[in-house]
Structure 1
């Protein structure tokens, strides 16, 4: 989220807006090419991965690869207070995704990054490939029980679109990402 501004004072106009985070990162490690932030709450890293995939699908795009990174830190008590007031957090502090006993979700922190390359580039130039990205899709659920509640039919359409793109059967998928706030 954007709560880092609540606790971190940067005495510079180009250090405060969220839009500068990606640019500072590119500047610090001398990355070239598109550089932007995806702020879509829980799905930001997945949306960034999808965006990277789209860039790499265009043969005229000069990129050989994309760096995708995501981080979630709980820096501000205001975020906790807002989630509590909205009855979003679990009273026992644990998520029970896909379980009838769910009473909210347990917040956590984490970060991850990966380099995504075109398939032909990886095969010819990269001696170590850890995984193959078979497909990605994104959606917005539209109207559902509440602003943050998943919409089952919309999620089903999304999963069908990914299965169509990848030509995989559900039993062939090793890892998937799902909305699981509980």
Structure 2
């Protein structure tokens, strides 16, 4: 959900959703909209042996992962609860 063009801001501004003064008054009676924020993360996962040979810092070790799905859900990121 990256805001890459000013048109999305213009549309939200026209709807009166974005803060008109550009100051966020979170948890305050003066709050009158919201401000958009973005963040990007790059996660690099390497085998532990390669990480140690490259002398990269180890921030975490992934011990196990799992996902289960069938072809009756809307996407692979939404597995059925009873698929496990």
| TM-score of the two chains, using structure 1 as the length reference | 0.24
**Structure ID, larger Rg:** 2
| TM-score of the two chains, using structure 2 as the length reference | 0.42
| Structure showing the higher strand proportion among its residues | 1
Could you say which structure has the greater relative contact order, defined with CA pairs below 8 angstroms and 6 or more residues apart?
1
